[in-house]
Each structure stands twice: as structure tokens, then as C-alpha cells.
Structure 1
Amino acid sequence: MVRDDLHTTVPTYFRCPISLEVMESPVSLCTGVTYDRGSIQRWLDAGNNTCPATMQQLPTKELVPNHTLHRLIKIWSESVPTRPDKSAPSPQSLSRDQAEQIILQLEIDLKMIHSTPFPRFYTIDHNLSVLISFVNEGCDNRKVVTDAGGRLLPLLVSLAGKKQFLNDFCLLEKIILFCNVILKNRVKIDSEGRDNAMFPGIELGKYDYKTIILTCLKQGRLELRIAAVEFLELMVKHLGSQMQQSSLISEDDEMYFELIRLLVSSNRNSDALEASLNLLSRMVVFKKNRSKMVRVGGVKALTKALSEPELSPPLTEKVLKLLEIASSCREGRDDICGNELCVQAILKKVLKVSDAATELAVTLLWSLCCFSGDKRVAALVTESSGVAKILLLLQSNCSPNVRQMCGDLLKMLRVNSKGSCLSCYDTKTCHIMPF
């Protein structure tokens, strides 16, 4: 039998829905679906009582030879010139039908993991690689995969929480990457911002995601560390406190340490930086967690990131937001106020990045100078030409909130300014804390 290769177009109905190979001995189940005898026999021998393609219950497991299809395949095979055996089609050459067949094969293999003593991990690994590459080719391809996400995601999320895959970081990385593809592109979210229908039957308490993620962060290569952090952030996004409470992930000091380590060692890798910032932002929503981030060097790490000259506006805003959150706890305020580089980096972002970054920077300065009354920060702002920046900002088209904070800052900084620029400036403002 001639196997298909890159130069041969195989009719879809000649392929077994399980193996995706040209069928040598096609047999039909009572559901009307035809499989290669060897593939369907292995499925049934594993104790399954459903049709793999339709998932219908089988009243009978009788296999009926499909002689007509067998003859058609034989005629087609003899008409195709013999060529050396090739690997599977490249992701670029996959048609929608081929991708859907690979997805079906992946689903079958994932379901068989718990029902067979010899799971087909090699096939799972290969099909995940093909589908991940396929998805990266464009929006239409992503839709093919995400349309099947409701079936695949629960199976993959369950695998990602099993410690047995810590012995195979390569496969674990592909499992996590494929979960991320589906999670990023799923749009069926309920009114509370969560999509519990995406995870039917999954009891998160049964899985040790904390150990899995921490091990990836400690021992994995940079790509796996980024993927693991993105996976956890997306899971928290879709499941909220249910995921955060699983294994008490958000309360683990080690988790904060590893996230800060990734942030510091990102080597200007924007993906690593963004993944760390996104997950930290979700974890420090709870006030009790903010001091944990600060204690493992959060302020110093955020200062280093904020000082990067090529930091993008969206990432700059995320860093400033995390610093603002850190300033709401005593340890965070002390670290920021005692870090001259941090205060100067915040001041440099005023009028330099975006309106959102300017407002966040002004809010931080107001919080430290006016709300907390820290004289060290007031002195630094005055010495670093902060007064001129604030006056310039007042003349711009800034929001009423920013304008009022600037007025309060000028009042506070007046006593620290020896110049004449403030001698004739008077502001009569009362202010409400902006957060």
C-alpha cells in the first residue's frame, strides 16, 4: 500500500479517522463510520464502548468489512506512482479537513491515556507540534483549533496538572502552549467574566498546579517558563479565585520569588516581562499578597524594568500600576521611598510615554508625597526638576484628576523649592485619594 506524502493528495475518506493513515483494511461500526481495522480494534480492546468519531454508545462492537471502499483504495493506490516514504504534511500545507482529523486523533489519544497501559505519547507530542505550528499560520487556522477547544481543553488542562509530565519538559511545554492557544482565543465568557463551561468536570483540587508551575519556573528553559506563567495567568483570568485558591497558589512566597526572578532575568524579553507583570497583577489584587511581592525584591525589579530605555508604553503602564499597588502597603512605600532610582524613574515617565502612564506616575508621586507625606520623595522630586514638569503638566490638556493631584503636589513641594517659580503660584485645592 502506498503511503501518502507531500506530493500526493489523499482523498479524505481514504484515511482512518484514528491513525490518519490510508486504510489497509477498512471496517465500519454500526454508527456508519469506517476505520482501519487495526486502529479501531485497539480502541475497542482498551475498553471503550463508543464510536471515536461521533462518541455515540455502541450497541454492538461488530466490525463490518467495507469492501467497496477497500476496492477504491486499491485502485487509487495502484494509480499513484511509488515514492519514498515522507513525513506528514507541513503545517503550511494542512487543509482544514486534515487539521480537523489531527484534532480528532489528538482527542482520541488524550482520552485513551487513562484507559490503556501504553498511551500514545509520541503521537500526542507530534500532533501537538503540528497543530501549534498550524495555528501560528493565521486567524483562520486558529479558528479551526479553537472551535474544538471545548472538547480538547479539559483533557489538556487535566494533563498539565499531573506531575508525571515533569519527567518530559518537552511534551509538557507543548501541552501548556496548546492550552494557551485555546485559552487566548476562546470568547464564550459568561457575565462574570469566567467561562466555566470550558472546564466541565475538572476538579482543580485534584491537580498540583503549584508544583508544576514552580518546577517549570525553576528548571525549564525560558520558553517553558513564559508559557507556564501565561497558562497560570489565563487560568486565573477564566476561573478567578477558584484557580488562585487551588493549592493556595497566590499565597506562596516561592511563587513570587520565581516570578520576580523571571522578570529580572528576562534579558529585555518582552514576552517574559509581560507574562510576569500580568500574573503578578492578578495575584496582588488581594491586599495580603502585596507585601509578599515586595519582600522578594519586587520594587527593585520593577525599578530595573521601568529604567529600560526601550520599554514599550503598555509595559511601562503595567510596571507603574504594580508600583502603585505596591505603594498601598507599608513595606512597598518604604522600599519605593528609600529607592532614589525608583523615584527618578517614575518622574521620568511624566509626559514621556502616554496619558495613562503620566496619570499613573503622578498618582504614585501624589500618594508618596501628599498622602504618605514622605519628605525624602518630595526632596528628590524638587531636586530632579519635578516642579517644572508638574507646572508643564498643569498647562497641558490633562484630566481633572491629574490637575488636582498636581496642585496638591505643588503645595507640598513649595517648602522644598528654593526657586522663584513657585513663589507666585498659589493653589487652593482639596483632594480625594484617587484609588
Structure 2
Amino acid sequence: MVRNQLYINVPSVFRCPISLDVMKSPVSLCTGITYDRSSIQHWLESGHDTCPATMQVLSSKDFVPNLTLHRLINLWVQSATRRPESESSAISEEAVKVLMEKIERKSCVDSLTKIEEFVSSCEDNRKFLMRFGGFVEVIAGVLRRNSVEIVALKLVVSVLNSILSENGVKERLNGLILKSNQEFNCFSSIISILQNGNQKSQIQSVRLLESIALDDQSKRKIAEVPNLFPLLLHRLRTNSDPDLNDTVFSLLITVSITRDAKSELVQNGIVALLSNFLADKNNKSHDKAMKLLARVSSCSEGRMAIREDPKCVTRVAEMLLKVSKTAAEDAVLVLWRLFSAYKDERVKEAVVKSNAVAKLLLLMQREDEGLIRKKCGELIKAVMAGCKDECLASYQTKSAHIMPC
């Protein structure tokens, strides 16, 4: 039987932004954001140098215990465990079965509301529901129906987002959503949410799509969903919510693996949009914007669009030392591909005016060897070729260390 205390509303400030579980050992980064110690340690040890919530590059990877929040969480836990039985709202196994039957019979909203409230409360509740055979299939099945109320669709993606981390869920959803041969498929419902849902449900829909992009075939199928790319780019242009923008960027990076996908993004104006994002100092998605720009620069249509947008080239060069190491490497790739393809004065002028040569030299000093160091050297030589600037002419890049001649 399920414990009476399973259904507990957890204050959002007590949840780790990474795991979404109640923090056991809250620690704060230099950005002021607090995470559970185990979650942020795993993030940093995986090679990241940004704050997961803000994507701001960290000036220091040190963190300090948030003792005040730790005490508040402990007091809340003690209070919750003493809560009288009359104040708890556990769902019995029989009640879950009844709710699932109602959802299958298309009596959705009330039943989904109860499921959504229960599953979003705590990890124990999610694990309890996952014990029911066919639970994922019943919930996801709503997406395949025609003429479902938008409020029901929003509840479905909320429930599915809550259980994405459970074992095997992503694989099951991959099969349910991507391999459906029904006339009205799940993608139609997801498009409806992106068009008519609120920001929370739009974020959840985009995350759901990214979670099922498990292999190249899945990524291609998602990228081929009619109207998905134009709709996502429209959201980026008209939306100011950083979480939605960041989620959309992640999905586009994940699924734009084919030439056709990159070409469609270019045709829908991705280059100008990314250029504007790079110019916005308050934008928290510079790294992902640069990653996506590097992705589209790998096709000829993307390189041409970047070349024809001088502001974009300048902004890429200006960002070389303002983004993470990975994003700086993406910026180098963009500039290198432009020079390799065109070698024209417009690109060279943009690089020189933004003082990119000095930045490239600094990047070379960071890299003892490897592809990026090589491409930095080739870029510098390309910019210096025929250049009369004495400052530029005083450098050579063949030695192991960058030294004036």
C-alpha cells in the first residue's frame, strides 16, 4: 500500500534546479544559485563551466553551503512527517486504476488533474505510479487522439515531464510517439501546445521532444515534423522567457543533424535570429546560440547566410573570449569555415575590427595541441595575408608558444 505521506506539496525553493528533488545538502555557486551538492558536483565534474540555471560562465567553480536554506528544509521535512493523516491525500492502487480507466475512456481532464498533482509532488509518488503496467502508454495515448482539449494536453505533457527520469520511460515514449502510424499522431498535439499553450507547457513539450531524440533516426523524424522549425523560431523571436529560449535551442541543436534540417533553419531566418541573441548582453543562452550557429555553418546555405550578415560575423568574433571554452571553439569553427569557403575582405574586415586576432592568439595559448589550435593558426594567417597592419605583421604562429617575431 502507498504511504499516507506520499502526497506532499514541496516548496519550489527547496527543489534542486537540476534534479528537481528536495535538496539534502544545498550549496550556492558564485552566481547565487543554490543546488544540491551531489547534483552540482556531477555537473561540474562532467566538464561544464557554466551555471546550469543561468548558463553564465563561472568565474569560480567553488561553492559554499547554504546553511539557512538547509535549516528551513529540515524544519519543513520535520513538519511534513508530523502532518496528521487527515491532511494527506494519498492515492490508493484501486484509485489509480480507476483514473487510468477513465483516461482511456476519454474522460480526461479531472482524472489527469489528479494524476498530475500526485505525480509532481515527490519522487516516491512517481515511482509508485510507475509500478502500474501501461501507465506511460495510457497517458501518452491521449496525445494520439483528435480534438483533445488544450488543458488536457497540457496536463499530459506535465505528467510525462515528471516521469522522464524514471527508468525506461524515454525509450517507451520514443516508441509510442515516433512509431505511431495513426492518422492523428502525437506530433499534432505537441504542435497544438506550442501554438496555444502557456510558456510552462511549451517548455515541457519541447523537453519531451528532446527526450525522445535518442538516435539519428529519431532526430531526423522530429526535424521533419511539419511546421515545427518555423514555430520554434517564431517562439524565439517573440518570447522573452530565458527558460523557453534555452530549451528551444537545446532541441534545435539536438535534431539539426541533416543538411535538410540545417537548410530549413537557414531558410526560416535562423542566422539573423542567432546574431541578435549574440548581441544581447542579457541573454543567458550565448553558448547554445553559438553551438547552433556552428551547426548551420557546416552547410553551404548556412555559410552564405552568415557571410551576408556582416553583423553576425562581427558578433561571433567579439564573443570569442566572452563564452565558455566549448562555445569559443564553436566560434572558431564558424570563422574558419567562412574563411575556408570565401576568403573575402568583408569577413577579414569584421575579424580585424573586433580585435579577433589577439583573441585567437589567446585561445591558441590555452590549447597545447589539437584541432582548435590548428584552426586558430590558420585563421590568423588568413587574416594577416596581405595585411599592412604592423601590429598584425609582428606575430608568427608556427612555434609552440605565441611570441612576437
In the superposition, the TM-score normalised over structure 1's length comes to 0.64
Which stretches in structure 1 are left out of the alignment for 5+ residues?
A: 1-10, 15-89, 430-435
Q: Give the structure, 1 or 2, with the largest relative contact order (CA under 8 Å, sep 6 or more).
A: 2
Q: Which position in structure 1 is the counterpart of 2:231?
A: 258
Is the CA contact (8 Å cut-off) linking 2:263 and 2:299 kept in structure 1?
Answer: yes
Instruction: Look up the equivalent residue of 2:210 and give its one-letter code.
Output: E
Give the CA deviation at 1:298: 0.9
Equivalent position SS for 1:293: helix
Q: Which position in structure 2 is the counterpart of 1:358?
A: 328
Q: Which position in structure 2 is the counterpart of 1:159?
A: 142
Q: Separation in 1 of the partners of 2:179 and 2:84?
A: 35
Q: Does residue 1:205 correspond to 2:177, yes or no? A: no
Match of 1:121 among 96, 100, 108: 108
Give the CA deviation at 1:173: 0.4
Q: Which position in structure 2 is the counterpart of 1:31?
A: none
Equivalent position SS for 1:303: helix
Q: Separation in 2 of the partners of 1:395 and 1:174?
A: 51
Q: Which position in structure 2 is the counterpart of 1:219?
A: 196
Is the CA contact (8 Å cut-off) linking 2:213 and 2:219 kept in structure 1?
Answer: yes
Q: Percent identity?
A: 23
Which stretches in structure 2 are left out of the alignment for 5+ residues?
A: 5-79, 400-405
Match of 1:316 among 286, 301, 310: 286
Count matched residues. Answer: 321
Q: Which position in structure 1 is the counterpart of 2:246?
A: 274
**Over aligned residues, Cα RMSD in angstroms?**
3.5
Q: Separation in 1 of the partners of 2:267 and 2:174?
A: 36
Distance 1:404 1:356, change over 3 A: same
Is the CA contact (8 Å cut-off) linking 2:310 and 2:350 kept in structure 1?
Answer: yes
Q: Which position in structure 2 is the counterpart of 1:420?
A: 390
Distance 1:301 1:428, change over 3 A: same
Is the CA contact (8 Å cut-off) linking 1:303 and 1:341 kept in structure 2?
Answer: yes
Residues 32-431 of structure 1 mapped to structure 2, 5 A cutoff: 101=91, 105-114=95-104, 116=105, 119-135=106-122, 140-141=123-124, 144=127, 147-148=130-131, 151-165=134-148, 168-183=149-164, 185-188=165-168, 195-196=171-172, 204-206=180-182, 207-237=184-214, 241-242=217-218, 244-245=220-221, 249-252=222-225, 254-267=227-240, 269-312=241-284, 315-397=285-367, 399-415=369-385, 417-428=387-398
Q: Over residues 358-405 of structure 1, what are the superposed CA-to-partner deviations in whole Å (9 max), with x where a residue is unaligned?
A: 111111111111354343212210122112222233333565322211
Q: Separation in 1 of the partners of 2:384 and 2:103?
A: 70
Q: Separation in 2 of the partners of 1:254 and 1:141?
A: 38
Q: Separation in 1 of the partners of 2:132 and 2:310?
A: 49
Q: Over residues 87-145 of structure 1, what are the superposed CA-to-partner deviations in whole Å (9 max), with x where a residue is unaligned?
A: xxx9x9699xx77636763443223444x5xx54343133134225414xxxx446535
Q: Over residues 274-304 of structure 1, what are the superposed CA-to-partner deviations in whole Å (9 max), with x where a residue is unaligned?
A: 2211221232112221100111111111222
Q: Separation in 2 of the partners of 1:109 and 1:295?
A: 46
Is the CA contact (8 Å cut-off) linking 2:150 and 2:196 kept in structure 1?
Answer: no
Is the CA contact (8 Å cut-off) linking 1:149 and 1:182 kept in structure 2?
Answer: no
In the superposition, the TM-score normalised over structure 2's length comes to 0.69
Moved more, 353-362 or 123-132: 123-132
Is the CA contact (8 Å cut-off) linking 1:382 and 1:413 kept in structure 2?
Answer: yes
Distance 1:12 1:133, change over 3 A: closer
Distance 1:398 1:372, change over 3 A: farther
Give the CA deviation at 1:243: 7.5
Is the CA contact (8 Å cut-off) linking 2:219 and 2:255 kept in structure 1?
Answer: no
Q: Separation in 1 of the partners of 2:255 and 2:84?
A: 40
User: Larger C-alpha radius of gyration, 1 or 2?
Assistant: 1
Distance 1:259 1:395, change over 3 A: same
Give the CA deviation at 1:201: 11
Distance 1:13 1:284, change over 3 A: closer
Moved more, 395-404 or 349-358: 395-404
Instruction: Look up the equivalent residue of 1:230 and give its one-letter code.
Output: R
Q: Separation in 2 of the partners of 1:146 and 1:380?
A: 57
Q: Separation in 2 of the partners of 1:415 and 1:201?
A: 53
Q: Separation in 2 of the partners of 1:231 and 1:201?
A: 10
Is the CA contact (8 Å cut-off) linking 1:150 and 1:198 kept in structure 2?
Answer: no
Distance 1:196 1:144, change over 3 A: closer
Distance 1:204 1:107, change over 3 A: farther
Give the CA deviation at 1:427: 3.7
Q: Which position in structure 1 is the counterpart of 2:49?
A: none
Q: Over residues 233-275 of structure 1, what are the superposed CA-to-partner deviations in whole Å (9 max), with x where a residue is unaligned?
A: 22223x7625853xxx4224521110101122221x2221122
Give the CA deviation at 1:221: 2.4
Distance 1:143 1:126, change over 3 A: closer
